[in-house]
Amino acid sequence: MCRIVSPHVDGMIPWLISSVGFDTVDTRPTDARKGARLSQRSSSATAEPVARLIDELAKLPGIGPKTASRLAYHMLRTSRDDAIGLAEAILAVKERIRLCSNCFNTTESDPCHVCADSKRENRICVVEQPLDVIAIERTSE
């Protein structure tokens, strides 16, 4: 099995290029059976659903091609129930979570629990991301 680290293969010998299915014009891998483009993170030996999962995972912040591959193959080893649980959790977040109209924190109800709490002082705390609100709330100050 041949592994190419760089997507740039200009100086490589022609048999290596043809053996891994690279198109000599744009140096991106191609699926010879369908003529479809594959990600540079996958090869023609990777099944299409796995390659798609790797591509989707690699879109997440902080997830590179290696980590995306590790996660995808981990998901293949997990039970169907675990995979369905993950998929349902992702869908639930996308369907039920929205931004608070007052502070733009993530919430299921509008206003969020922070803005709706009458015991809180009426102060503004500016944060960069909703994740920062969680860190501040953990301090209980």
Domain boundaries, the chain: 14-93, 98-139
Looking at per-residue pLDDT, the higher value among 61 and 104 belongs to 61
Q: Please, which residues have CB within 8 angstroms of residue 134's CB and are 6 or more apart in sequence?
A: none
Most confident of 25-39, 61-75, 112-126: 61-75
- Is the model's pLDDT at 68 over the cut of 80? yes
Q: What is the pLDDT of residue 42?
A: 52
Q: What is the pLDDT of residue 129?
A: 85
Check: CB of residue 44 under 8 Å from CB of residue 21.
Answer: yes
- The architecture of the domain spanning 14-93 is Orthogonal Bundle (1.10)
